[in-house]
A and B are shown apart, each in its own frame.
Chain A
Amino acid sequence: MRVLMFGWEFPPHIAGGLGTACKGIVEGLAHNGVETLFVMPSASGDEDESCTKIINASDVAVAHVSETVDEFLDKVKFIHVDSSLVPYVDPDEYFEAIEKMKAEHTLETTIGFGQKFKFSGKYGANLMEEVSRYAQVGGTIAMQHKDEFDVIHAHDWLTYLAGIAAKELTGKPLVVHVHATSYDRGSEDMIDTRVLAIEKRGMQAADKVVAVSELTRNIVINKYGIDPSKVVAVHNAVDFSGRENLSVERGVKDKVVTFLGRITFQKGPEYFIDAAAKVLKRTKNVRFVMAGSGDMMNRAIRQVAKLGIADRFHFTGFLRGTDVQKMFALSDVYIMPSVSEPFGISPLEAMRSNVPSIISYQSGAAEILKYAFKVDFWDVDAMADDIYALLQYPALSEFAAKQGLDEVNALKWDHATAKLKDIYEQLIK
């Protein structure tokens, strides 16, 4: 079994979780005896190729392809976007991407047929153009490697057009993998319709749609109108091998309850703040930390000030690199009150750091984590109860930490990718 896989990034140079997940998937597939050709817009050459062969789209010249595909590509080719309207993969990843963009200038270039296109592989202002270029080059790559794969697999909307082009040209089955949808990125009236159109098109053209959770599967079915029989949920895993937990000396004696993520509507920051205020009414020996930044941050700060808990509720701003690990190491309880979360890898990281987690039912992770505490995102009373219990009853928090650690250690990409292998096999039968 061989798969032509279209991704957008691959470790070590990643802006967010998509690259990490792709690496886990190709490794897991390799363990299951599936070979992958991994195409990405801009490879640096230092990617780990032990489990996959990387094809750098920036090295491939665009060849003339069949008329129908040309026509299709013409339609998507020159959609320019305003820098303020930049679409993005996932809200968490957007901020970091923008931060990186500021540091590195990406060149705007145009190409004709027979030329190579230097992709930035970032999430910049010319993202839409890169996406359509990627489709052109993707088609060429599929033709060049026509005899080397059986199935096409495309990750998230950025690569869907490339996947469709490859399918049109080679006639091989297409799997699209939904890591996040437009509905998880913004409230419904703020959705970028161009992204939505590409998502819908990819899902419709696909022979199978893989969603990272049942929650996302339902969105694919209900919001995008995709035939339920075509949509399968395959939960993410996480690879913690080779990572040591940091030990950090604590400055504060109090217990620390942490929210870590983008401070946006989807993440439910205001519910966390309300719950914090409730807990602080009953006990004083606790501090709350909101780590991250986002468009709701200022509102969150005002809410904290208004509730009069600012001496116990701290903001760290955006955390980079080891500061994230440090924050987990300083935490006693982790909370993810997301209103809508396709999967949500952060509670897994918290549990891996021995921190008991409270997560909302409205997250994909809630479907698989038995030892996380689960509440509805709006149920601040339940949230406060759980926080209070985890702080006050050491037996409970120790149990949750230990079981949680075992639980996340047992999540393996090998299991998740075995399901992908089944899907591929059904498609080429």
Chain B
Amino acid sequence: MAKSICLYFQVHQPTRLRLYRFFDIGKDSHYYDDFQNRTILKRIAQKCYLPMNELLLKAIKAYKGEFKVAFSISGSALEQFERYAPEVLDSFKALADTGCVEFLCETYYHSLAAVASGSEFQFQVQKHKEAIEHYFGQTPVSFRNTELIYSDAIGRQVYELGFKTMLTEGARHIMGWRSPNYVYNNDLVEGQKLLLRNYSLSDDIAFRFGDRNWAGWPLTAEKFKSWVSAAEGDYVGLFMDYETFGEHTDKASGIFDFMAALPGEILKDGKIRFLTPKEVAAEFKSVGDLSVPNAISWADEERDLTAWLGNDLQNEAFNKLYSLREKLSLLDNPVLWADYGHLSESDHLYYMCTKFFTDGDMHKYFNPYASPYEAFINYMNVLSDFIIRVNDAIAVK
């Protein structure tokens, strides 16, 4: 039976773009829909971040160091907290102060830099690391890439940036007969440990919890514990979006009550422990190499990159953005760098996804645009203005 549970929550909010028309190009370089971003953030803060942080803080205090969780909070989300809801930031700091919360490192802008540009990736990882140190007073040692995107090569890049532990998806097509409930290591770098998401048990909470047609409904802490106990392996990686609680799954479903009951239920007979990613990596040995030549992610049925780079529109936007990187590196204009970062948020590409039919519901839920085409047009208009600014700045230089 599994000896431990590794809980990690992803916190991210995209910097949504305003309606940016052709007529604005060259005239107006404010790209963001501040009103929408603020409104959405404040809503989610009330429905999810604040009540959930309070719940976790209570549990951590109640179980005196036995209950632990990990967070990864994107830089884009941190910026929005600071601007629109500083009380959320304070509540995360309070969690950090308990010593029972590990903060992971990722790309600051929740970007696809890992598959685009080594130098941009390094820049964003470093920037995020510094942000975590600044806000939470701890230096992150475990890494999660945007949307758990991973390949052997990405893992090596991450290792070279100093992270010996990395989280990714226990995708069925790479695991085959193997269980995700063990620690594996990078096929190219033996020293890098991989922690895998148990998608089945994770999605029981993240996607199926409120589904009354699901055979497992209603999910209780006792029932969930019995499933964890029945699982083989060293740990169960429960990795999910933090917005699951109260936002994706409504409070009325009882998901908060479930989460409040879970730590006590799990800990009560002392057989299962909670561990953070770095503790899992320290405690368990790798059971073998995991070969992932092509990138995987935690998204959609395919568990690959096609949600972001699956059609011509996305490839064009992606290529145009990253082809600017070299020019930008000649400039030390912080405003341009910040805009570039926000334009690199993977969400912009996600909105251009045309996979309507299988995972369409999920895509629609997260999408402020009526169609992928509108998303593309708007993004390219913004990018065109940005390109002009970069070229102008270089001309001045």
Residues of chain A within 8 A (CB-CB) of B383 are 311
Contacts of A250 in B (CB 8 A): 26
Q: Are the C-beta atoms of B312 and A302 separated by less than 8 Å?
A: yes
Which of A13-21, A108-116, A218-226, A314-322 faces chain B?
A: A314-322
Nearest residue, chain B, Cβ from A316: B22
Residues 225 to 278 of chain A near chain B (Cβ within 8 Å): 249-253
Contacts of B315 in A (CB 8 A): 305
- The answer to whether A252 and B380 touch across the interface, beta carbons within 8 angstroms, is no
Chain A neighbourhood of B21, CB < 8 A: 316-317
A326/B373 contact (C-beta < 8 A), A305-B312, A314-B380 known? no
Within B277-315, which residues are at the interface with A (CB < 8 Å)? 311-313, 315
Chain A residues contacting B374 (CB-CB under 8 Å) are: 317
Tell me which residues across on chain B come within 8 A of A330, comparing CB atoms: 23
Residue pair A253, B22 in contact (C-beta under 8 Å): no
The answer to whether A308 touches B319, judged by C-beta atoms less than 8 angstroms apart, is: yes
| CB closest chain-B residue, reference A304 | B316
Q: Is A298 interfacial (CB-CB < 8 Å)?
A: yes
- B311 neighbours in A (Cβ, 8 Å): 302, 305
A301 at the interface (CB under 8 A from B): yes
Which one, B25, B312, B376, contacts A252 given CB within 8 A? B25
Q: Which residues of B contact A326 (CB under 8 A)?
A: 23
Assembly CA distance A330 to B25 (angstroms): 12
- C-alpha spacing A246/B315, complex, angstroms: 38
Which chain A residues (328-354) contact chain B, with CB distance < 8 Å? 330
Is A297 positioned at the interface, with any CB of B under 8 Å from its CB? yes
Q: Is B384 an interface residue (CB 8 A)?
A: yes
The dominant DSSP class at the B interface is: helix
Whole-angstrom CA separation of A323 from B380 in the bound complex: 20
Q: Are A301 and B26 in contact (CB under 8 A)?
A: no
Q: How many residues of A contact B (CB 8 A)?
A: 25
Interface size class of B (residues with CB under 8 A): 20 to 34
Contact present for A297 and B320 (CB under 8 Å) = no
Asked if A76 is an interface residue, CB under 8 A from chain B, the answer is no
Q: Is A81 an interface residue (CB 8 A)?
A: no
Whether A301 contacts B313 in the complex (CB less than 8 A), given A252-B25, A315-B22, comes out as yes
How far does the alpha carbon of A304 sit from the alpha carbon of B381 in the complex, in Å?
13
Partner pick for A253 among B26, B312, B373, CB 8 A cutoff: B26
A166 close to B (CB within 8 Å): no
Tell me, in angstroms, the Cα distance from A312 to B380 when the chains sit together. 9
Is B377 an interface residue, CB under 8 A from the partner? yes
Whether A306 is near chain B, meaning CB under 8 Å from some CB there, is yes
A30 contacts B by Cβ under 8 Å? no
Which B residues between 338 and 374 are near A, CB-CB below 8 angstroms?
371, 373-374
The answer to whether B22 touches A306 (Cβ under 8 A) is: no
Bitwise, A127-140 to B at CB < 8 A (1) or not (0) is 00000000000000
In the bound assembly, the distance between CA atoms of A127 and B381 in angstroms comes to: 38
Please tell me if A387 contacts chain B, counting CB pairs below 8 Å: no
Contacts of A316 in B (CB 8 A): 21-23
Q: Return chain A residues, CB-CB under 8 Å to B28.
A: 251
Q: A305-B312, A308-B316, A308-B319 are in contact. Are A251 and B25 (CB under 8 A)?
A: yes
Report Cα–Cα, A252/B24, bound state, in Å.
Answer: 9
List the A side residues contacting B319 at CB < 8 Å.
308
B83 within 8 A of A: no
Does A310 interact with chain B (Cβ within 8 Å)? yes
Contact status of A301 and B376, CB under 8 A, knowing A252-B26, A306-B312: yes
A-B contact sample (20 more), CB < 8 A, given A252-B26, A317-B21: A250-B26, A251-B26, A252-B25, A252-B388, A289-B22, A298-B373, A302-B311, A302-B313, A304-B316, A305-B311, A305-B313, A305-B315, A308-B316, A308-B319, A308-B320, A310-B376, A314-B380, A314-B384, A317-B374, A330-B23
**Chain A interfacial positions (CB closer than 8 Å to B):** 249-253, 287, 289, 297-298, 301-302, 304-306, 308, 310-312, 314-317, 323, 326, 330
